[in-house]
Amino acid sequence: MADDPTPPTDDSDDDRQPGVPGPEDALAKLLASLGIGTGGDLASLGSGSGSSEDLASLLEELQKTLQQFTSQMAGFAAAGGEADGANWGFAKDIARKTVAQDGPDPTPSDAERREVREAVALANLWLDQVIAFPQLTGDGVAWSRAEWVEHTFPVWQHLVGPIVASISRALVEVARQDPDQPEQIRAMLQPMMRTAAAGMFGGQVGQSIGKLAADVLGGTDVGLPVTPTPSVALLPANLAAFSAGLEQPASDVRLYLALRETARQRLFGAVGWLAPQMLALVEHYAREIRIDPDGLERAIEEQMSGSGQPDLAKLEELGRDFAMRLFRPERTAEQVEILSRLETLLALVEGWVDDVVSEAVASLMPNAVPLSEVLRRRRASGGPAEQALRTLVGLELRPRRVRDAVNLWAALRSARGSQERDAAWAHPDLVPTSADLDDPLGYAEHGHHGEPDSLDAELAELLGEDTTEDDPPQE
């Protein structure tokens, strides 16, 4: 029997469930949000059954909208000027505006700069007695919040860059969701959607960094090495706000925070592999982020006004959940491993800082204990880094094991001395692992499980040294 050329009149052969929109419905909705009416059936255009006049009219209308959209968005996303498609200048501008909206941000006065220099100089003298790592070159510096943004922004840009690339890949997927539609339409929509997404995410990056600047007390208060080179910096305006609620002299608070910032920066400065590895782990985690194309498309549609122009006010007032709406919630096995390694490293750094500062102030600053407890509670509540990383790269990072790390470093110092404690940072293979945090006394006694007892012997082997070379000949 010959095939019936008459197309079916019901949905019996349609794979879609009744009431569930198909890909042409999603594209029609997107076009409508841009103020473009198709004047017909998108499916017929894609299959070729629509008239060429309909397609030409739609393409002409879409071209006009694209030109208008690109003009409106010129200041919000790069027009191909940057490799990753983002306008980082715009993101930094949003960060500076966010800082300004959070209240006065005066340039540190000469007196404040002098106070920071003196606090850092004294901190160095105290730390010289308890750690093996040398002082950094240069004096301590005082930054405004805006200066913190300027100095740390290059590192944030490096960390967030992979997310922009993921958004671009997701946009290609969105455009390919309806392969039956005319290629001309999909090709013209891609730059429009890419521009909108880059502008929105750039605004979110700037807003998050600006909010973070209002909370940090020093250059690396987030726990990560976000300053381009190790330098000890404090933010007097934020220190004043932090000190206001404490029953401690402002000078003592400044000195205690200078000790912590100086210790952390001396660690990053002396241990050449540490800062690059921590940042590489964050970047690696970001590269594994998978964007939800449906969430991305919905977010873009919501940012469009009915007239087909972007709502620029919304781009500057993005909610904190914008980025999280784009990230698929499930983590890959690789991300789980990265997160564990990063949390362990961060806990080890903060635990080491806690231990060396406690040792330094033990007989010199009696009121350091309540200050330490205040910072511990601040860290336990999440801290500025957790919120920023969750918003920017979907990374829920909290150093839950800092107390374990403090116990481990204290046990190692008690068993072998400060020199051996600091020698554990000499190579990544010597640094305590998550398993070592479970058994700090065991690590203090014999190092890693199944490894030689002597940290010096391990270091010599890793560095290819001959430990017997300088020994006198045996009789």
Phi, psi of 145, rounded to the nearest 5 degrees: -65, -40
Q: pLDDT tens, 2-28?
A: 444 444 444 444 444 444 344 444 444
Asked if residue 253 is part of any domain, the answer here is yes
Q: pTM value?
A: 0.73
Asked if residue 66 is part of any domain, the answer here is no
Cα–Cα distance for residue pair 351/268, rounded to 1 Å: 14
Q: pLDDT tens, 81-135?
A: 454 556 788 889 989 999 998 889 999 999 999 999 999 999 999 999 999 999 9
Angle at 465 between CA 460 and CA 470, to 5 degrees: 105
User: Per the structure, how many domains does the chain have?
Assistant: 1
Residue 275 pLDDT grade (very low, low, confident, very high; cuts 50, 70, 90): very high
Asked if residue 354 is part of any domain, the answer here is no
Mean pLDDT of 64-71: 55
Asked if residue 225 is part of any domain, the answer here is yes
Asked if residue 312 is part of any domain, the answer here is yes
Asked if residue 52 is part of any domain, the answer here is no
Asked if residue 439 is part of any domain, the answer here is no
Residue 276 pLDDT grade (very low, low, confident, very high; cuts 50, 70, 90): very high
Domain of 219, in residue numbers: 88-334+383-393
Asked if residue 46 is part of any domain, the answer here is no
Mean pLDDT of 170-183: 61
